[in-house]
Structure 1
Amino acid sequence: MPEGEVALALAELRSALEVGFARIDGQLALLVQRNDQTDKALEGLEQRVSSLETRRWPLATLTVLAAMAGLAVGVFGALLS
């Protein structure tokens, strides 16, 4: 194989590698961008869940309120009888 053909083949190989690396670089940049967007969305969801958790009434509190209401109705009913 003459040296000219080897040099041409190497130049084509180098060009193909550069194109491949550029494509991979672009795909990696896109993945990083999507990862950043996912991180932001996850952070927003965590904040929403946290705010919902602080606003909800615990089950124990509802149980106590229901028991007190039942007691009040019972006492009121006993007083009327």
Structure 2
Amino acid sequence: MTNNDIFKKLRVALKLRDDEIVKILELVDFRITKSELSAFFRKEDHPKYMECGDQILRNFLNGLVIHLRGPMPKKNSKPAISNKNTKK
């Protein structure tokens, strides 16, 4: 199964339109146009067909996580409180 097949199946299963996929990719600062995106969903024998690389699929999956779950909460930068000074 190719990356194009995985991308197509996710698109159908999640009922995503091209503009939604573009927005999902923008969540991870990956820019792509609708025409570039449509090349991934064409048949392999079509002259404008393009293979979906690992980077594009990875960015789509990372953006999809943000789209479905929301952004990852920011980690607290303060150090943990030590219990050295507490008496028992």
Of Structure 1 and Structure 2, the greater helix share is in 1
Q: Whose radius of gyration is greater, 1 or 2?
A: 1
TM-score range, shorter chain: under 0.3
Greater RCO structure (CA 8 Å; 6+ sep)? 2
State the TM-score, normalized to the length of structure 2. 0.24
